[in-house]
């Protein structure tokens, strides 16, 4: 469960009763990025999201996308921690400043 007081673009649109397309994405401090959206983004678009949002949830990402997110954060000077639950997460875990493997027997 993630609880936050910050609004996403969708929250702002709902509050103002306007279409999502009329909301400036930079006015939202929180963002949810699905793996399918991330797949279509350029490096510059990812950096823009990372720079302009204080809370970001990346959902349904592939192991390669996890690595891309780690690298993007580090390129902007962030210290990155990653949790993973399998061998497929190894590249992101290794690249991160802090890597934590979750084990569920």
**With 70 as the cut, is the pLDDT of residue 4 above it?**
no
For residues 48 and 70, membership in a common domain is answered with no
pLDDT, the chain, mean: 90
For residues 51 and 71, membership in a common domain is answered with no
For residues 36 and 67, membership in a common domain is answered with no
Percent of the chain with pLDDT over 70: 95
For residues 9 and 41, membership in a common domain is answered with yes
Which pLDDT score, from 0 to 100, does residue 5 have? 66
Number of domain units in the chain: 2
Which pLDDT score, from 0 to 100, does residue 16 have? 87
User: Shortest CA distance to 49 belongs to which of 72, 66, 75?
Assistant: 72
Give the tens place of pLDDT for each residue, 74-95.
999 999 999 998 899 999 999 9
- The phi, psi pair for 3, rounded to 5°, reads -120, 130
For residue 67, give its domain range: 63-105
For residues 57 and 16, membership in a common domain is answered with yes
Give the tens place of pLDDT for each residue, 36-52.
999 999 999 999 999 99
């Amino acid at each position: 469960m993630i609880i936050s007081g910050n609004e996403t673009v969708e929250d702002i649109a709902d509050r103002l009763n306007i279409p999502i397309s009329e909301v400036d994405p930079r006015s939202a401090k929180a963002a949810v990025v699905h793996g399918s959206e991330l797949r279509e983004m350029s490096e510059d678009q990812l950096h823009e999201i990372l720079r302009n949002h204080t809370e970001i949830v990346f959902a349904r990402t592939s192991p390669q996308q996890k690595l891309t997110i780690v690298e993007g954060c580090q390129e902007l000077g962030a210290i990155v921690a990653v949790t993973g639950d399998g061998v497929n997460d190894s590249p992101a875990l290794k690249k991160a400043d802090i890597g934590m493997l979750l084990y569920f027997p």
